[in-house]
Amino acid sequence: MKKLFALLLAVVMVLSMVACGAKKEETNGDEAKGMTESPLASKEITKDFEIKADFKIGFICLHDEKSTYDKNFLDAADEAIKALGLTKDQYIIKTNVPEGKECYEAAADLVDQGCNIVFANSFGHEDFMLQAAKEFPEVQFCHATGYKAHLENVANYHNAFASIYEGRYLAGIAAGMKLNEMIEAKKITAEEAKMGYVGAFTYAEVISGYSSFYLGAKSVCPSVTMEVQFTGSWYDAVEEQNAAEALIARKCVLISQHADSMGAPGACEAAGVPNVSYNGATFEACPETFIVSSRIDWAPYFAYIIKCFNTGATIDTDWCGGINEGSVVLTGINQNAAAKGTLEAIKTAVEDLKSGKVKVFDTKNFTVEGAAVTGDAVVDGIFEESKTQSAPYFDLKIDGITRLNEKF
Partner 1 sequence: MASSEKKHTPLLHIVKRDPGTLTWGYKLLVRGIAILAALVVCGVLITLLTGENPVVVYGSMISGVFGTSRRVWNMLQGVAILLCVSLAVTPAFKMKFWNIGAEGQVLISGLACVAAMMFLGDVLPLGLLIVVMVAASVLAGMIWAVLPAIFKAYWNTNETLFTLMMNYVATQLVAYFLKVFVKNGSGVLTPMPEFGLPVIGGQAYLLNVLIVLVLTILVYVYLKFSKQGYEITIVGESENTARYIGINVKKVVIRTMLISGAVCGLAGLLLVGGTNHTISTTTVGGRGFTAIMVSWLGKFDPLYMVLTSFLIIFLEMGSQQVSTDFRISSSISSIVTGIILLFIIGCEFFLQYRVVFRKNRKENV
Nearer to partner 1, 204 or 358 (CB): 204
* Residue window 139-178: x/- pattern of binding to partner 1, with contact defined by CB under 8 A: --------x-------------------------------
Nearer to partner 1, 209 or 322 (CB): 209
Nearer to partner 1, 48 or 376 (CB): 376
Distance (Å, rounded) from C-alpha 234 to C-alpha 216?
A: 24
80 binds partner 1 (CB under 8 A): no
112 binds partner 1 (CB under 8 A): yes
Q: Per CB under 8 A, which region of 107-115, 222-230, 335-343, 378-386 contacts partner 1?
A: 107-115
Cα 346–chain centre separation: 18
204 binds partner 1 (CB under 8 A): yes
Calculated CA dihedral for residues 143, 309, 63, 121, nearest 10 degrees: 20
Indicate the SS3 state at residue 312: coil
128 binds partner 1 (CB under 8 A): yes
Q: Are 385 and 392 in contact (CB under 8 A)?
A: yes
Our CA angle for 161, 164, 165, nearest 5°, is 125
Q: Per CB under 8 A, which region of 93-101, 161-169, 220-228, 353-361 contacts partner 1?
A: 93-101
Q: Are 76 and 298 in contact (CB under 8 A)?
A: yes
Our CA angle for 147, 149, 153, nearest 5°, is 145
End-to-end CA distance of the chain: 57
Which strand (E) or helix (H) includes residue 197?
strand 194-199
* Residue window 30-69: x/- pattern of binding to partner 1, with contact defined by CB under 8 A: ----------------------------------xxx---
93 binds partner 1 (CB under 8 A): yes
406 binds partner 1 (CB under 8 A): no
Q: Are 226 and 194 in contact (CB under 8 A)?
A: yes
By CB under 8 A, name the binding residues for partner 1.
64-66, 92-96, 98-101, 105, 108-109, 112, 123-124, 126-128, 131, 147, 201-204, 408
